Structure 1
Amino acid sequence: MNRRHALLAGAALSLSLAMTACGSPGDGGSGAAPAQSSSAGDVEAALNAGGTITVWAWEPTLKQVVEGFQAKYPKVKVNLVNAGTGDDHYTALQNAVKAGSGVPDVAQIEYFALPQFALAKSIADLTPFGADKLEGTFTPGPWNSVHSGPGIYGLPMDSGPMALFYNKEVFDKHKIEVPATWEEYIEAARKLHKADPKAYITSDTGDPGFTTSLIWQAGGKPYQVDGTKVGISFADAGTQKFASAWQQMVTEKLVAPVSGWSDAWYKGLADGTIASLVIGAWMPANLETGVKAGAGKWRVAPMPQWEAGGKATAENGGSSLAVPEASTKKALAYAFIKYAGVDEGVQTRLDNGAFPATTSHLNAAAFKDKKFPYFGDQQVNQVLAESASQVVTGWKYLPYQTYANSIFNDTVGKAYTGAGTLQDGLKAWQDASVKYGQEQGFTVQ
């Protein structure tokens, strides 16, 4: 996505939502209407009949998407509502589902949060509308993320394949080669900090999204999910590979003790004291608008690899558009999310700074050949599109990942203050996640 990945503070849904989600239907934010049957043939009929739908989303480019959709289908009105980001958004959605009224017809849901909404049956399976026929339309990471069992519970809106964003001016000044592996990255961190004690190769005070993404890239699969049966273990080889490497960075104080998205973080990116980021493909727009002093200095390179010559990446952030089960206008809602995620709306979003999840747009010459003045006229999208094709498959999030992320700083985060190691923190995170899952009615091992 072209905005920062919002961390949630605790809007975790329990299994009790499975009962409330299928209760009395909401009014979709626009008054009650006869429920439409769920079939692909109903979509065209719904567009011809027209009506009003309500969309809850914070993603800024959707404003232009709504304008384009309404111009193409003048009988349809879309109420675009920003109900908040992160915790505020999901809490409002959860409360509407529980109340059985005021539920939107479309909701933006980040990939890591989607499983719990799907398991609770508070969002609709989109296969009756033909969503399963979109196989191959999206890159593997986002497409896998909208699946839950055999169902498809959202359409990918964007993606966040990871890459290395680095300050070329700083690297050149200290004769630092662009690292191709994480071992080289750690060595570069040592060289930079030794040359300039005020400079760090990156910053980190503990971030669940970054941590799980690096474990994902390393081949780790700490979460095993089969419906309400959940397995959690951070003892797998991929997790330990990350923990061992990153512990060196923490122990040797090679990462700036600055939290992402803070004023100090932006300042460090601007003045060169934070010299790189390994982050999602939605980052260019953030640098362009938030770190204007870095114009011409930054470049993009492939994500460092765990093995020399490797070609493995992971996703970091990204959102889907889903249709709440309580919506009485599912066919019209599906028409909108398909327009936004598959049809003309994708190009509209690209023109306004978003990064796509669709393979056709990623492979288009106009997209790949675009030059970015901020990055010294580098064709940045070539690197990012390649990363999207190399995302490791098979990753799963917990069906209560929002809660797990909310306790990250109380567990793994302690390692950044010297209170134990990353391995200790990951074990504490595992144990707390197991305990919570069992309390919510999951079968957890």
Structure 2
Amino acid sequence: MSAMSSNWDRRSVLRAAAGLAALGPLAACGSNNGRSGGGSSGKSIKQYFHAYGEAGVEDALKRYAKGYDKAAVNTQWITSADYESKLFSALLTDNAPDVFEFHPQIQLIKSGQVADLSDIIDPVKSDFNPADIASHTVDGKIYGVRMIDDPQFFFYRKSVLEKAKIQPPTTLDELIEAAAKLTTGKVKGLFIGNDLHAVINPLIWSSGADTLDAKNQIAYHTEGVKEGIKKMRQLFTSGHLLLDAPTDYWDPSAIVQGLTPIQFCGMWAMPVMQKALGDDLGIFPFPKVTDSGKQSVTNGGWSMFVNAKGKNADLAKEYVKWLWIEQKKYQEDFALSYGFHIPPRTSIAATATKLKTGLPAEGVKLFNDFGHFDNIGWTQAMITALEDVFANCVRKNGDPEAALDQADTTVNRELKKLFG
């Protein structure tokens, strides 16, 4: 994720993908920023972005587009909560975008919806984080250009933990204990999001497991994950977890407004938190769940795709190459001037002075040491299956083994469709 109002949850963003064929025609698509650039070519392309929360992002994207002289670039800026549904609805119509931001997803590739971008990425492939290349690659072809990487971890108020004589937790048990000690009156000890979905994958990774293994087989159904789910149930029922916050985990309001001293959030919100809290801010990764587990950091982010079924696919590829491959000054500006994001281009990341010291540097280190990237084969149906496990076992008191068995049925069905 990225932006504070954008990374509302990668899982919810992808929700529309599962029902792509069932969606109806596109309704009004949000504000139309008009055309930019284009010179006298008479050509035009349309690009879709969700409404980032950081101030200045919309103006920046319009400014970049205005610099393109081979076509007029029409930018659709779509309310975050509506982005996925409007994007997938639009892709079924003649009003479809030529270029759009989204996350790597194998269904888009299998359906021929997104174009192979290997030819424009291969010349600079070695300058991208290898994990970003891998998460966008199917059968040796690269689909999508990564724009930003967005690590997510726990932010905490140093002074509050010090006063309570609490060290930053390294295990889930310690996190649960800390939440209990830090809960006072209206202040809850911990906030991990209103729907809890943001921590599903970190819980799996910190249990020593994964969503899928290297052979695209189920890897999440382990004793460690079951133990983690039970501990999450304990936390959920403890009364020490902030629930129904005014905004979700992607927004820093909960910790900034003093509703909690520990909040799960993304690096994109770090400048806002630092402005409000100064040096009284620290970070730590999702703690390990079991002795055999390892602390983990979710890497969210956004990527640019070309609509292979659009009327202007070749022109759209040229534009994507120009902006997200050639214009490194714009790429750096996008990553570092509107919240903090890690540039996926290693040459840009190497000179990113804003990320070299202090808390941003700590965030980069956690990203490098504990980061996990998108698995392009982990589909929306699979994501929803594990969301259901959380709903049944954390919010309710369901049996984790039975719930995971049910998830296995859905996931295996999906795997058979995708990989045989």
TM-score bracket, normalised by the shorter chain, equals: 0.7 to 0.9
**3-state DSSP class of the match of 2:92?**
helix
Contact 1:49–1:75 (Cα < 8 Å) also in 2? yes
- Distance across 1 between alignment mates of 2:367 and 2:352: 16
* Closer, same or farther: CA 390–92 of 1 in aligned 2, 3 Å: same
Contact 2:151–2:363 (Cα < 8 Å) also in 1? yes
* Closer, same or farther: CA 301–121 of 1 in aligned 2, 3 Å: same
1:201 paired with 2:203, answer no
Instruction: Give per-residue Cα distances to partners, 1:114-155, cap 9 Å, x unaligned.
Output: 2221222100111133x1343343334433322233221101
* Closer, same or farther: CA 261–286 of 1 in aligned 2, 3 Å: farther
Contact 2:100–2:305 (Cα < 8 Å) also in 1? yes
1:20 matched residue in structure 2: none
Judge which range, 341-350 or 299-308, deviates more: 299-308
Counterpart amino acid of 1:151?
Answer: K
RMSD: 3.9
Instruction: Give per-residue Cα distances to partners, 1:369-408, cap 9 Å, x unaligned.
Output: 46xxxxxxxx22101211232245686254532x444565
Indicate which of 34, 51, 70 corresponds to 2:43.
51
* Closer, same or farther: CA 277–431 of 1 in aligned 2, 3 Å: farther
2:270 matched residue in structure 1: 284
1:248-327 correspondence runs (5 A): 248-258=234-244, 261-262=247-248, 268-285=254-271, 287=273, 294-296=276-278, 298-306=280-288, 313-327=296-310
* Closer, same or farther: CA 394–352 of 1 in aligned 2, 3 Å: closer
Counterpart amino acid of 2:397?
Answer: A
Contact 1:413–1:425 (Cα < 8 Å) also in 2? no
Contact 1:221–1:396 (Cα < 8 Å) also in 2? no
Indicate which of 108, 133, 139 corresponds to 1:149.
139
1:382 matched residue in structure 2: 361
Counterpart amino acid of 1:364?
Answer: T
2:355 matched residue in structure 1: 368
Cα deviation, residue 326, structure 1: 1.5
* Closer, same or farther: CA 339–64 of 1 in aligned 2, 3 Å: farther
Cα deviation, residue 323, structure 1: 0.4
State the aligned residue count. Answer: 391
**3-state DSSP class of the match of 2:339?**
coil
Indicate which of 111, 127, 130 corresponds to 1:137.
127
- Distance across 2 between alignment mates of 1:103 and 1:127: 23
- Distance across 1 between alignment mates of 2:211 and 2:375: 8
- Distance across 2 between alignment mates of 1:97 and 1:196: 49
Contact 2:118–2:142 (Cα < 8 Å) also in 1? yes
Cα deviation, residue 197, structure 1: 7.9
2:66 matched residue in structure 1: 70
Contact 1:219–1:238 (Cα < 8 Å) also in 2? yes
1:413 matched residue in structure 2: 391
- Distance across 2 between alignment mates of 1:236 and 1:308: 14
1:33 matched residue in structure 2: none
- Distance across 1 between alignment mates of 2:200 and 2:61: 33
Counterpart amino acid of 2:178?
Answer: A
1:89 paired with 2:74, answer no
**3-state DSSP class of the match of 2:108?**
helix
Contact 1:199–1:274 (Cα < 8 Å) also in 2? yes
Judge which range, 8-17 or 413-422, deviates more: 8-17
2:28 matched residue in structure 1: none
Cα deviation, residue 260, structure 1: 7.5
Instruction: Give per-residue Cα distances to partners, 1:350-382, cap 9 Å, x unaligned.
Output: 222251333233332512246xxxxxxxx2210
Q: Unaligned regions of 5+ residues in structure 1, if any?
A: 18-28, 30-45, 371-378
- Distance across 2 between alignment mates of 1:156 and 1:314: 18
* Closer, same or farther: CA 179–298 of 1 in aligned 2, 3 Å: same
Instruction: Give per-residue Cα distances to partners, 1:25-75, cap 9 Å, x unaligned.
Output: xxxx9xxxxxxxxxxxxxxxx99978322111125425413413433x334
- Distance across 2 between alignment mates of 1:97 and 1:338: 21
1:348 paired with 2:333, answer yes
Judge which range, 424-433 or 356-365, deviates more: 424-433
Indicate which of 87, 92, 97 corresponds to 1:104.
97
1:115 paired with 2:93, answer no
2:157 matched residue in structure 1: 167
**3-state DSSP class of the match of 2:72?**
strand
Cα deviation, residue 98, structure 1: 3.2
- Distance across 1 between alignment mates of 2:14 and 2:309: 25
**3-state DSSP class of the match of 1:315?**
strand
**3-state DSSP class of the match of 1:80?**
strand
Contact 1:156–1:357 (Cα < 8 Å) also in 2? yes
Percent identity of equivalent pairs: 20
**3-state DSSP class of the match of 1:284?**
helix
Contact 2:147–2:304 (Cα < 8 Å) also in 1? yes
- Distance across 1 between alignment mates of 2:375 and 2:74: 33
- Distance across 2 between alignment mates of 1:219 and 1:47: 54
1:22 matched residue in structure 2: none
1:11 paired with 2:16, answer yes
- Distance across 2 between alignment mates of 1:209 and 1:262: 10
- Distance across 2 between alignment mates of 1:178 and 1:108: 35
Q: Which has the higher contact order (CA 8 A, sep 6+)?
A: 1
Contact 1:201–1:254 (Cα < 8 Å) also in 2? yes
* Closer, same or farther: CA 311–386 of 1 in aligned 2, 3 Å: farther
Counterpart amino acid of 2:268?
Answer: W
**3-state DSSP class of the match of 2:165?**
coil
